[in-house]
Amino acid sequence: MKQDRKVACAVEIMNEFAKNTGLTGDCEPRRYLWTDAFAVCNFLELHERTGQEIYRTLALRLVDQVHQVLGRHRDDDARSGWISGLQEAEGSAHPTMGGLRIGKKLPERRPEEASDRQLEWEQDGQYFHYLTKWMHALHLVSLKTGEEVYDRWARELAQAAHAGFTYQPSYGGPKQLYWKMSIDLSHPLVFAMGHHDPLDAYVIYLELQSTAPAELEREVLEMQDLCRDRDWTTDDPLGFGGLLCDGLWLARLMSGNSPVFQGLLVQLLVAATEGLDQYASRNPFHYPIGYRLAFRELGASIGLHAQARLKEYLRHTAVAPEQADILEQVLDKLSAHQKLGSRIEEFWLGEENQRTSGWISHRDINMVMLATSLVPDGFLGP
């Protein structure tokens, strides 16, 4: 598909998303943090591509709406106001200081309630990997607008999330991360750590340090310790797609002389390649559509767009000779899968595929991630 057609499709998708979720029009705002993080980046990119000021306006309006909705307690909660506990004026000035809710349909599980594995997916709280996506979106807004307040909000969110989600295990070793916390960050809801949460945190913390080198030093070191000697491999398309995005951002940081610890870039790109090979070997396009999740597959296509940009940054990145050879081999293997991303986009652009129950039940996130794959530079960054 030609670029101008991709932009036109992304415009149509994001206009519909804005209307459907109450960003424009008369609908009650329906905010969901992961989806909205990608949407902010998409609106910024559409502003660049079309020159229309409305998309910059929508990006900033969405940031404000997320903070006003997900930075506060739910309407069905006995509590009210900012989840940080700050008074109204101070909360408005520091809307991320208590973290941000996920935006799930159901209230969070109360401490005295037994955990239900299936129900937990529909209950509110805070997810660490959603918060890092929002930090990244705020950072890109700051870069695009030149307004430092968005970077400050991102750093305040990083500090709140880190303090709320990290804990020292009784057996010693580096700090660990809970996967899901309560809305007010007072207690964990899911104890297990997300596979890539430490990596996402480390990369995004370094990204935020690029504009404020004196901040987040302790947080960076703690996530660095947690990232050492880990196996990042996954055959989940959203997972290895995320690894490729992290790889691009790490390479960009390294080209700017950020102190990334030796070997991490190679480790995560090797893991991403192994996961992609495993996924492709199963011929995922032969699976019945009812067994496929669009937003997870689109995570792979977004990651493959990141891979296509990696080589440019690696030209300006100093790595050990033996690692340079491995990187060259990995990039060649990744390049062989480049058409996979286009096939994923084309499949989910099909109107008949968007009429299925799987697409409709995750409509907002599917729409936004499809638009991200069509115009990825907003999310992947400058």
Give CA angle at 198 (197, 199), nearest 5°.
Answer: 90
| Cβ count within 10 A of residue 48 | 14
Predicted confidence at residue 325, as pLDDT, reads 83
> Mean pLDDT, to the nearest integer, of 156-172?
96
In this predicted structure, the answer to whether residue 317 has a pLDDT above a threshold of 80 is no
pLDDT in tens, 209-260: 999 998 999 999 999 999 998 999 999 999 999 999 999 999 999 888 778 8
pLDDT class for 382, splitting at 50, 70, 90? confident
pLDDT in tens, 33-89: 999 999 999 999 999 999 999 999 999 999 999 999 999 999 999 999 999 999 999
What share of the chain has pLDDT > 70, as a percent? 99
pLDDT: which is higher, 367 or 310? 367
The Cα-based distances of 56 to 47, 51, 127, 259 in angstroms read 6, 9, 27, 33
Query: At residue 361, what is the residue type?
Result: S
pLDDT in tens, 325-364: 888 889 889 988 989 999 999 999 999 999 999 999 999 9
pLDDT class for 2, splitting at 50, 70, 90? confident
Query: What tokens appear for 227 in the block?
Result: 């990232």
In this predicted structure, the answer to whether residue 370 has a pLDDT above a threshold of 80 is yes
Q: What is the mean pLDDT of the chain?
A: 94
Predicted confidence at residue 58, as pLDDT, reads 98
pLDDT in tens, 280-303: 999 999 999 999 999 999 999 999
Q: Which 3 state secondary structure label does DSSP give 85?
A: coil
pTM > 0.95: yes or no = yes
Predicted confidence at residue 319, as pLDDT, reads 72
> Mean pLDDT, to the nearest integer, of 95-108?
97
In this predicted structure, the answer to whether residue 315 has a pLDDT above a threshold of 90 is no
Predicted confidence at residue 85, as pLDDT, reads 97
Q: What residue spans of the chain are helical by DSSP H?
A: 3-20, 33-50, 53-70, 88-93, 117-120, 128-145, 148-165, 197-209, 217-227, 237-255, 264-281, 294-314, 321-335, 338-349, 357-361, 363-374, 377-380
DSSP 179-222: SEE-TTSSSEEE-SPPTTHHHHHHHHHHHHHTT-TTSSHHHHHH
Closest by CA to 16, choosing from 371, 376, 296, is: 371
CA atoms of 129 and 111, how far apart (whole Å):
22
Contact 369, 294 (CB under 8 A): yes
pLDDT: which is higher, 319 or 172? 172
Handedness of CA 46, 49, 53, 56 (dihedral sign): positive
Cα Rg of the chain (Å, integer) = 20
Range with the poorest average pLDDT among 17-21, 113-117, 121-125, 368-372: 113-117
CA atoms of 299 and 373, how far apart (whole Å):
8
Helix axes 197-209, 148-165, angle to 10 degrees: 150
Backbone φ and ψ for 323, nearest 5 degrees, come out as: -75, -35
CB-count burial class (<10 Å; 0-12, 13-18, 19+) for 306: buried
Length of the chain: 382
